[in-house]
Amino acid sequence: MKKIPFYKMSGSGNDFILIDNRRGVLKNFKGRKINRFAAAVCTHRMSVGGDGLILIERAARPKTAHFCWRLFNTDGTEAELSGNGGRCAARFAYLKKIAPARMVFETLAGPIRAEIKGTNVKIQMPTPQSLRLDVKIPVRDKTYIGHFLNTGVPHTVLFVDDPAAVDLVPLGRAIRHHELFQPAGTNVNFATIKTPGLVRMRTYERGVEDETLACGTGAVATALIAGALGQGRSPMTLRQQSGMALRVYYRWDGRVFSDVFLEGDARVVYEGEMGDETRPVIS
């Protein structure tokens, strides 16, 4: 089979595989085969490995967008949005001369505007939806208080004394699949507010089904919920498990959020080609 060129990129700790599919380099992977392909190449130690696969494709409405993307989680499911993935996609498109430094691209969560600033990328997020504060979440013999917001994908935020002390994977998994958040499930963030402008956080990510080193949509949800609770302000810096920081800007009028932006690092780790042995057999 023909070799498939790709970039490996990191968005503040989230790593993604990016492929320019505008000319159909993956035309042989149709239907469920693309989901199996994504899961295979995202498998660490067996292939390239990553938190997701991003395909850059032709825009459905080229007069209003420079390109369209498709995002696949490590389990092969297609996702609506990733803040860090979106920033990587924007910089990839800029480096490949697919789009200018200020661009618009299509996602399942709606059109996303982005601006390239060196290795930093700032994107405008879709209007958050479905804010629910002080949700009681019974897990085994304890009830947790969480706060829910959809920032393109669903997120639940729990404020804790120390995110490092949380047994994140089992608790995150239990909340991710909790009946309160079905049928879509939820991503789960554990955060502590250091100051009104600084938060430390960790994330259990739906689709990855594990902790990730960073989460853009989770950072946005955490910042906005802190603001809605009167404990945060814009701009807010959110320190990720990777040690890197994301910055979130927003307006909050006491009822709705607007002008929500996410900014952070998006850099190329390496460039390569997938050969037959890079891509595990897909049956």
Give the residue among 12, 10, 55, 1 at the shortest CA–CA distance from 216: 12
Distance between CA atoms of residues 96 and 42, nearest Å = 22
Q: How many residues does the chain have?
A: 283
Total-model pTM: 0.93
pLDDT in tens, the chain (283 residues): 689 999 999 999 999 999 999 999 998 888 889 999 999 999 988 899 999 999 999 999 999 999 999 999 999 999 999 999 999 999 999 999 999 999 999 999 999 999 999 999 999 999 999 999 999 999 999 999 999 999 999 999 999 999 999 999 999 999 999 999 999 999 999 999 999 999 999 999 999 999 999 999 999 999 999 999 999 999 999 999 999 999 999 999 999 999 999 999 999 999 999 987 776 655 5
Q: What is the pLDDT of residue 283?
A: 53
Question: What single string gives the DSSP state of each residue in 158-192?
Answer: EE-S-GGGS-HHHHHHHHHT-GGGTTT--EEEEEE
Q: What is the pLDDT of residue 282?
A: 55
Question: What single string gives the DSSP state of each residue in 241-281?
Answer: TTS-EEEEEEEE-SS-EEEEEEEEE-EEEEEEEE-TTTS--
Pairing mode, if any, of strands 52-57 and 257-265?
unpaired
SS3 content of the chain, % helix, strand, coil (to 5): 20, 45, 40
Q: What is the pLDDT of residue 281?
A: 57
Q: What is the DSSP letter of 205?
A: E
Helix (H, G, I), strand (E, B) or coil at 28: coil
Distance between CA atoms of residues 186 and 180, nearest Å = 9
Q: What angle do CA 122, 56, 5 make, to 5 degrees?
A: 115
Domains of the chain: 4-119+267-274 (3.10.310.10), 129-265 (3.10.310.10)
Rg of the chain over all Cα atoms, to the nearest angstrom: 18
Place of tokens 């208080």: 145
The token pair at 86 is: 């979106």
Bond from prior residue into 62 cis (ω within 30 degrees of 0): no
Give burial (CB, 10 Å; 0-12/13-18/19+) of 174.
middle
Distance between CA atoms of residues 90 and 185, nearest Å = 27
Q: What is the pLDDT of residue 29?
A: 85
Alpha helices in the chain (DSSP H): 32-41, 83-95, 168-176, 216-228
Q: What is the pLDDT of residue 224?
A: 98
Q: What is the DSSP letter of 255?
A: S
Distance between CA atoms of residues 31 and 25, nearest Å = 15
